[in-house]
Amino acid sequence: MFFSRKAEPVAQKVAAILANYFSVSTDETLLWCSTIEDSRSNASARDAGSSDKSQTVQVTLPFCMNSQLAHLKDVVISELKSQLKSEFHSAQLVFTTQITSQHTKLPPITNIKNIIAVASGKGGVGKSTTSINLAFALMKEGARVGILDADIYGPSIPIMLGNTNDHPESEDNKHMQPLEAHGLVANSIGYLVPQDDAAVWRGPMASRALTQLLNETLWPVLDYLIVDMPPGTGDIQLTMAQQVPLTAAVIVTTPQDLALADAQKGISMFEKVDVPVLGLVENMSYYQCRACGTKDYVFSRDGGEQLAERHGLPLLGQLPLDIHIREHGDAGTPLLIGAPESPIAASYQEAARAISMQLAFTLSPRENSNKHIKGDPIGVVGS
Ligand SMILES: Nc1ncnc2c1ncn2[C@@H]1O[C@H](COP(=O)(O)OP(=O)(O)OP(=O)(O)O)[C@@H](O)[C@H]1O
């Protein structure tokens, strides 16, 4: 078996179909497509006097979308069948995922391809809930994901992961093993110090804690590390955004005017430090009555959409105010784990795919993109 470097006609057709599907250029999608020729089948085809070549087109997507791959494959195969004279079997099209490490101004952290800050201008809008569910949603879509709870003033990730009594282990007193819950690797200031201690830290100590957590954790190879930022847009958040090699940021807001004004400040803060904002997630967009299905727009309507439009940013998702989101978070089994087949879980996954695609389509790959990927350290501690 060998890989062909130049795109064979079938691979070119696949690239054109994908370009149309994702509304990007064929130049981009051609980079995803390669042809694998099975020399054994070719030999047997020749023996049988046939000139048929057994070619497999391999598509390596630079973003994750596992839940949609079967549908995408159906679309490509049915288009190909209408375009090709010869037969093309479904087994001749293979999809894989290889998330690219995107450029950052600061040098990358070992093993982490992309660091995504989830931030909100205002407290209590559901930033941590959104962070954890997006992390699991990205995982479900096929990415390797970790979460870092940088919310020094109210670390809630340990509660949402149901492992508040666990502590990261260290063999050399310098580095920590991250904890693992439901397959997600995590670290949080909440695992290390009593909450009341961290809550009185001043700015420099708080941002030093974040860089230490980031640098001293033995992260396995991760496509995405989600960083749950402390709420607000003050000096502490600005320093954190400056000191960490953030690939991009996602802003969480409710549709309410008050929250939107603060979300706007969040966008400006990341712009100031040259961290691209991928888009907005609107949380608590509406409440849907379980008895009659009526939607109430408790915190106003479509504010996130309008703010996104004003800044030319995508609205990555709209999540309802829903009792299950809160209950599953409190129980240590976030919605994506506790109710993975629910429509709300599907909405988080849609937002996760949008984030992954935004990263792949709007940012530039890092030079020497894999130099900092050293491989998984031995033994991640499970809970
Ligand atoms: N969409 C939602 N539906 C129902 N409850 C939600 C939703 N989003 C968040 N919550 C609940 O609202 C509360 C605050 O959420 P969360 O801790 O995620 O907010 P936060 O913005 O991270 O807060 P902080 O500013 O304190 O860091 C939690 O009890 C959480 O379970």
**pLDDT tens, position by position, 224-269:** 999 999 888 888 888 888 999 999 999 999 998 888 888 889 999 9
Expressed in angstroms and rounded, the spacing between residue 129 Cα and the centre of ligand 1 is 5
Would you state the pLDDT for residue 24?
96
Ligand 1 atom with minimal separation from the 228 CA? 22
Q: Domain holding 160: CATH number?
A: 3.40.50.300
Q: Residue 372 domain-assigned? A: no
pLDDT confidence bin for 207, thresholds 50/70/90: confident
Beta strands in the chain (DSSP E): 2-4, 33-37, 55-61, 93-97, 112-119, 145-149, 179-181, 184-188, 222-228, 248-253, 277-282, 287-288, 295-296, 315-318, 381-382
Domain end: 39, 68, 97, which one?
Answer: 97
Domain end: 68, 97, 126, which one?
Answer: 97
Does the pLDDT of residue 5 top 70, yes or no? Answer: no
Total residues belonging to the chain: 383
Q: Residue 214 domain-assigned? A: yes
**Co-location of 245 and 340 in the same domain:** yes
**Co-location of 315 and 212 in the same domain:** yes
**Co-location of 138 and 42 in the same domain:** no
Does the Cβ of 126 fall within 6 Å of ligand 1? yes
Q: Residue 36 domain-assigned? A: yes
Would you state the pLDDT for residue 4?
47
**Co-location of 20 and 137 in the same domain:** no
312 is in an annotated binding site: no
**Co-location of 139 and 85 in the same domain:** no
126 is in an annotated binding site: yes
SS3 of residue 45 by DSSP: helix
127 is in an annotated binding site: yes
**Co-location of 188 and 117 in the same domain:** yes
Expressed in angstroms and rounded, the spacing between residue 125 Cα and the centre of ligand 1 is 6
**What gap in Å lies between CA 177 and CA 51, rounded to an integer?**
56
Expressed in angstroms and rounded, the spacing between residue 344 Cα and the centre of ligand 1 is 15
Does the Cβ of 203 fall within 6 Å of ligand 1? no
Expressed in angstroms and rounded, the spacing between residue 123 Cα and the centre of ligand 1 is 9
**Co-location of 278 and 317 in the same domain:** yes
Would you state the pLDDT for residue 252?
95
Does the pLDDT of residue 54 top 90, yes or no? Answer: no
- CB 16 within 8 Å of CB 26: yes
Q: Residue 374 domain-assigned? A: no
Ligand 1 atom with minimal separation from the 329 CA? 31
Query: Higher confidence at residue 301 or residue 200?
Result: 301
**Co-location of 164 and 276 in the same domain:** yes
Q: Residue 344 domain-assigned? A: yes
The amino acid that residue 173 corresponds to is N
CA separation (Å) from 139 to 65, 136, 250, 336, 338?
10, 5, 17, 10, 15
Buried b / exposed e across 147-162, counting CB within 10 Å, b at 16+?
bbbbbbbbbbbbbbbb
Q: Residue 300 domain-assigned? A: yes
Expressed in angstroms and rounded, the spacing between residue 319 Cα and the centre of ligand 1 is 12
Would you state the pLDDT for residue 195?
66
**Co-location of 277 and 174 in the same domain:** yes
**Co-location of 162 and 303 in the same domain:** yes
**pLDDT, tens only, 62-94:** 999 999 999 999 999 999 988 887 778 889 999
Under 8 Å CB-to-CB from 205, ≥6 apart: which residues?
A: none
Q: Residue 373 domain-assigned? A: no
**Co-location of 282 and 165 in the same domain:** yes
Does the pLDDT of residue 44 top 60, yes or no? Answer: no
What residue has token string 């909405």? 347
Query: Could you tell me the residue range of the domain that residue 203 belongs to?
Result: 112-362
- CB 87 within 8 Å of CB 79: no
**What gap in Å lies between CA 89 and CA 245, rounded to an integer?**
44
Does the pLDDT of residue 49 top 70, yes or no? Answer: no
**What gap in Å lies between CA 341 and CA 206, rounded to an integer?**
38
**Co-location of 87 and 119 in the same domain:** no
Query: Higher confidence at residue 6 or residue 248?
Result: 248
Give, as one character, the DSSP assignment of residue 241. Answer: H
What residue has token string 């839940």? 67
Residue 33 has phi, psi (to 5 degrees) of -105, 130
Two tokens, residue 224:
């995405």
Query: Higher confidence at residue 282 or residue 256?
Result: 282
Does the Cβ of 329 fall within 6 Å of ligand 1? yes
Q: How many domains does the chain have?
A: 2
Domain end: 50, 65, 97, which one?
Answer: 97
**What gap in Å lies between CA 333 and CA 327, rounded to an integer?**
9
Mean pLDDT of 150-179: 90
To 10 degrees, the CA torsion angle through 356, 361, 363, 365? 90
pLDDT confidence bin for 383, thresholds 50/70/90: very low
**What gap in Å lies between CA 72 and CA 272, rounded to an integer?**
38
Would you state the pLDDT for residue 203?
65
Q: Residue 377 domain-assigned? A: no
To 10 degrees, the CA torsion angle through 216, 162, 182, 124? -80
Query: Higher confidence at residue 300 or residue 114?
Result: 114
Of the listed ranges 148-157, 212-221, 335-344, 353-362, the least confidently predicted one is 148-157
- CB 3 within 8 Å of CB 36: yes
What pTM was computed for the model?
A: 0.91
Would you state the pLDDT for residue 186?
97
Would you state the pLDDT for residue 209?
82
What is the arrangement of strands in the sheet containing 179-181, beginning at the earlier edge strand? 315-318, 277-282, 248-253, 112-119, 222-228, 145-149, 184-188, 179-181, 381-382
Would you state the pLDDT for residue 39?
58
Ligand 1 atom 2 nearest Cα: 321
**Model-level ipTM above the cut of 0.85:** yes
- The per-residue pLDDT of the chain, averaged, comes to 88
Closest CA to 175 of 113, 128, 111: 111
